[in-house]
Structure 1
Amino acid sequence: METISAAPARRTSIGAQRNPDSEEAILAAAESILIEEGFSAFSIEAVARRAKAGKPTIYRWWPSKAALLLDVYHRQKQDMSVADSGDVRKDLALFVKGLLSFWQDNGGAVFRSVIAEAQSDPATLEALRNYLLHRWQQTGDIIKRGQERGEIKPGVHPELLIEILSGFAWSRLLTGRLDCSDAEIDAAVDAMVGGIAAR
């Protein structure tokens, strides 16, 4: 008698509350697709197939492709912290070096996908804007600590300065030049800090 092989078991959810195993499987599947096949192959359907999860489950937890993309990026970036060495130049250089290194190690592919989606989808654009404003506020602590130590002029806007420095990193990401030397990063930081340093 011919035997019929069972179909792969689908992961089950537990309603609106996220099942940790299913959540991890979906995020891992989404990340793998972005890294292996690129943004053009990324879709909720593709993620559902690879994660062996139902599309309704994914849409219940991530109402848009943008939300899923940003969660994948957050998942990759969660171990990154803001340095506090006691020297504002060193901390800013470590911030840029850490960001470029993270982007070289697959994070850049995911973040470029988020940026690409934001060019045509208002929801992604808003999510990206909110994410960046939050990150610049967090990283702005480097400048605030420098002000408290008397290294940086008191009237300088921390988040604006981080946005300017992040622009340097973004330029490298979007033009495929992430292999930036430490000397180049130090020079960029020195050029910026030179204009805001307390005399």
Structure 2
Amino acid sequence: MPAANSQPPRVRSGNQRDEAARLAVLHAADDLLVEHGFARLTIEAIARRAGVAKQTIYRWWPSKVEILLDTLIEDSEKRFPVPVEKSTEDSIRGYFRGFARFVTRDPAGKVLLALIAEAQHNPETARSLHSRYLDPRRELERDLLTRGIEAGEVSPRLDLDATIDAVVGPVVYRALTGASVPRGLVDALFDELLKPGA
């Protein structure tokens, strides 16, 4: 009589992802991007670092851009969420300060900057970045500002999209060029463009 197997067999379907392997791939992609940059990031290197087969990655993701987007989405939700509760001057200002920290200090922020840079000459990357990350996040940011306006906490000088772009644009530019982003810059942009307490 054969020995009983103490572990039940794993049920797997063609597209069902093993969570540990999925996380290993996301972490490997994030780490390798920070270490070597977007151009030198390959599916082969990700598979090697994550300890999974290259075919497994291609079964789950069509490209390294989609892997990085999954990493960015998950890390942003954990480390840099858009406030969804009461919109106060402090919570809105804190959100923009958090954005500056995210793109200058957090490895996930490096992923965002790499995808922004790649989107400049790759239309498919631009489409994916917008549809999967920038557009959904922008909806939450608009809602944050709308609630702040309704509460009398802020009074934007421009329309909502232009206001958000005018605050984050200089931050992204400095981060992309390797410059620091002082808190005073974020506060000055916020005070000028959102006129708190007006």
Compute the TM-score of the two structures, normalised by the length of structure 1: 0.80
% identical equivalent positions: 35
Note the residue ranges of structure 2 that are not aligned, 5 or more in a row: 1-11
2:193 alignment partner in structure 1: 192
1:163 alignment partner in structure 2: 165
Deviation at 1:110, TM superposition (A): 1.5
1:70 alignment partner in structure 2: 69
1:113 alignment partner in structure 2: 114
- 1:125 is matched by which residue type in structure 2? A
Aligned-pair Cα RMSD in Å = 2.5
Note the residue ranges of structure 1 that are not aligned, 5 or more in a row: 1-12
Task: Determine the C-alpha separation between the residues in 1 that align with 2:155 and 2:117.
Answer: 37
Alignment CA distance shift 1:78-1:146 (3 Å): closer
Task: Determine the C-alpha separation between the residues in 2 that align with 1:16 and 1:117.
Answer: 28
2:149 counterpart (138, 143, 147): 147
- 1:92 is matched by which residue type in structure 2? I
Task: Determine the C-alpha separation between the residues in 2 that align with 1:37 and 1:64.
Answer: 17
Deviation at 1:135, TM superposition (A): 1.0
Deviation at 1:157, TM superposition (A): 3.9
Compute the TM-score of the two structures, normalised by the length of structure 2: 0.80
Does residue 30 in structure 1 map to residue 29 in structure 2? yes
Alignment CA distance shift 1:42-1:61 (3 Å): same
How many residues in Structure 1 have an aligned counterpart in Structure 2?
183
- 2:95 is matched by which residue type in structure 1? F
Name the SS for the 1:78 alignment partner.
Answer: helix
